[in-house]
A and B are shown apart, each in its own frame.
Chain A
Amino acid sequence: MNLALSEKTLMQVDKPARYIGNEVGSIIKEKSKVAIRFALCFPDLYEIGMSNLGIQILYGLLNSYDDVWCERVFSPQHDLEQIMREQKIPLFSLESQESISQFDFLGITIQYEMCYSNILQILDLAGITLLAKDRREDEPLIIGGGPCCYNPEPLVDFFDLIYIGEGEVMLRELMDKYQANRENGGSREDFLYEAAMLAGVYVPRFYEVEYHEDHTIAARRLLRAGVPMQVKKVACPDLTDTFYPTKPIVPFIQTTHDRGVLEIMRGCPRKCRFCQAGHVYGKKRERKAEDLVVIAEEILKNTGYDEIGLSSLSSSDYSQLKELTDALMDRLGQTRTNISLPSLRIDSISLDIMKKVQDVRKSSLTFAPEAGSQRLREVIGKGLTEETILTGARAAFSSGWRRVKLYFMLGLPTEQEEDILAIGDLANKITAEYYDTVPKSERLGKVEIGVSTSFFVPKPFTPLQWAGQATVEEFREKANLTRQGIASQLNQKSIKYSWHETNESILEAAMARGDRRLGAVILWAYQNGARFDAWGEHQNPAIWEAAFKAIFAENRLDIAFFATRERSPDEILPWDFIDCGVSKDYLLAQRPNR
């Protein structure tokens, strides 16, 4: 396979191995023998995208179909983007190194709101018409999927189709419809109409939205008879017989996680009120421990990894956790393979498991109380009590741990000063617990408590979806107050506080709950240089501020309407047309009292 980039170009760019493909596990097919060519895109750098399990699942699944060849594409870094523009090199896939514009589908996984500008970079560099309505018959069909598709509206200008739910369910049928339409000589529009009839498939061009004068949504209308008003999310009822990527691609370069991944279950039985994943991913579905052990062995044999990590939303709720880790230890013990655990709720059972599989001296414990006070934890439905945390910490300290990480959110609904100050109190109590539990002679060093706060971003399909987000100024004050609260503690020297910048959270909030009118804002920001907004060093809040102004100044609409405004319960929300298995009534009932 000839590389798309010249030797000279590859020598000029940072980490050229991002662009060469050819890894163990990557799949080459004969293009004359496949009917459908599918480019699978994670719109961020290679090393980020390749750490995503979803990409590996979809890649393996689509390539398990004989008539489909699925290849990968990621965002080129700035240095390469510049060269591609200067030399008019079209964006290419890693496997065949051929131009994306020749593919039948470009599937983009949309994992976080901060990648929206990168999506346009991908389309643009591929030479694909940015606006779906203007695309020619021979251009690839652009299909979106992933968590952000539970409110795809800000992106619908750029997508032909949005897939809502788990790929295993409907991708085969979607490919069949495409093939059938082609054989019948149908047009792009004909295929999209057929596709819109499938559960889980949303074709935005068949709908239109009207707005009230106060900018809220007045109505959604069908533009084509027969397409469903409600689009239903699709999910596998049971994971037992679903495809598992036991021959994942092994990157040449170091990615975020250099290990095999075992997805032990999907869904989450806890319904923390701020958590979108917990609500939209449906009921808990476990894989059997005995199956997972076989899968783990196959992955390790096929990849040569010396580490396997468990993955799920809430691994402590996996009913066979102890059986699974015991069986993995037993089967892999002789092969010098490490098992890496996700963060578990700390109790005696999990400490037992953790002690067995990891080095206590090096690892740290993680607690996610999310809020400092018991009152606020109850508001957000996080059933973790102070007593549970302190008991867990005590048990951990006496087993040898001395590093603890604590995660909190600032700006939660109903939050008061005392809730924020309680963060410092809680951190201090944990510190004190260490000195009370571990006698001086047995201490291997100082206790280290890391407190980290993020800013609350209200998400669709959660009981907090109506909440207004705090403003940038309020967030700064809250972070300051947190710091003061920690600084006033007796053991403040053992507590390290860190927080993320605020601009990202505001933009994230606007995109998360935005509507179709944001498409123009995203386009403007992209055309004026927005890229890689998730990367601190590339963030450029001024571009986005200007974009909102440029598009909305005339209609007196602004970012606050999307981010900080509290929604009324009877408002039509942009994502109401999606049926993801939780009703609006249920969410309203779960909404905390103000």
Chain B
Amino acid sequence: MKVRIKFAKTKAAKYIGHLDTMRFFQKAVRRAGIDVVYSRGFNPHQVMSFAAPLGLGLSGHGEYFDLEINEPEADRDTVAAELAKRLNKEMCGGFLIVAAKPLAEGAKNAMASVAAAAYTVKISEEAGLPIDWMSQFEKFMNRQEMIYHKVTKKGEREIDLRPLIYKTGYSTDNSGNTSLSLLLDASSANSIKPQFVIEAFFDYIGQQLPEYALSISREDIYANTGTAEKPNFVTLLDYI
């Protein structure tokens, strides 16, 4: 039986890389005494697969992995809920289990299901945004095309970001700071990072985005139950 686990990775855990995050969960599963399935072969490992690696320094509130456990006798929903509870006792440093649900037979795995991700981006004062940046951002979003030069190991590539941005919005925190909300393509073919959009925006307003000026949080990860033209996004926790 496979269980989809939704977790948060915040505070100190932000600074733990993806490989170390996987090692952390492997150990947590062992500490929790979960009856996990191991792969066959010379180097058996837990059958555990993560939806999408989260970059170092980003916090995540809706991160996912699927875990295969040996078929239980009890009710599957109860087993998943119990698993979440036990695993949560093993969390520390800003890791938290949010929920766990059983995956239906034949359901797509977490990684293959990823279509989009929602982000909140806080731009620090050091970046020197103009006071009317929101209206400028609206204009920026109204353009037909949004060319971004992505620098990769192999060189530079042009991407049109516009069709890969599904939704934008704003939120204001208690201290009156406004953050940007972005729903972006996160599929394996077209995934873009929130930094790309912000860089393109700074380019548009003729400013240079300073290094380390963004504080980014990934709020949730979505699958698409609609079509490419008319997408319908549901969180991975509901796509089971």
Contacts and interface: CB of A to CB of B under 8 A. Distances in A.
Given A22-B92, A253-B20, A336-B38, A10 B15 contact: yes
A20 B27 contact: no
Interface in A1-25: 1, 3, 7-8, 10-12, 16-17, 20-24
A252 interface: yes
Contacts of B92: 22-24
A306 interface: yes
Contacts of A336: 38, 44
A17 B15 contact: yes
Contacts of B57: 7, 10-11, 16
Contacts of B42: 359
Nearest to A258: B23
B88 interface: no
Interface in B174-188: none
Interface stretch (B28-36, B73-81, B150-158): B28-36
B102 to A, nearest CB: 23
Contacts of B215: 7
Contact of B27 (A11, A16, A254, A303): A303
A7 B215 CA distance: 8
Contacts of B53: none
Nearest to A1: B12
Nearest to B33: A301
A250 interface: yes
Which range holds the interface residue count of chain A?
20 to 34
A20 B93 contact: yes
A557 to B, nearest CB: 47
A383 interface: no
B24 A252 contact: yes
Given A10-B57, A11-B57, A24 B15 contact: no
A266 to B, nearest CB: 28
B94 A12 contact: no
A6 to B, nearest CB: 9
A305 interface: yes
A22 B94 contact: yes
B17 interface: yes
B212 A303 contact: no
A359 B30 CA distance: 23
A340 interface: no
A22 B12 contact: yes
B86 to A, nearest CB: 13
B16 interface: yes
Given A11-B212, A304-B26, A252 B16 contact: yes
B12 A3 contact: yes
B27 A305 contact: yes
12 contacts: A1-B12, A7-B212, A11-B57, A20-B93, A22-B12, A24-B92, A254-B20, A254-B23, A300-B30, A302-B31, A304-B26, A304-B30
Q: Which 10 A-B pairs have the closest CB atoms?
A: A304-B27, A22-B93, A304-B30, A16-B15, A304-B31, A20-B12, A22-B12, A8-B212, A11-B57, A252-B16
Interface of B: 11-13, 15-17, 19-20, 23-24, 26-31, 38, 42, 44, 56-57, 90, 92-94, 212, 215
Interface of A: 1, 3, 7-8, 10-12, 16-17, 20-24, 250, 252-254, 258, 300-306, 336, 359
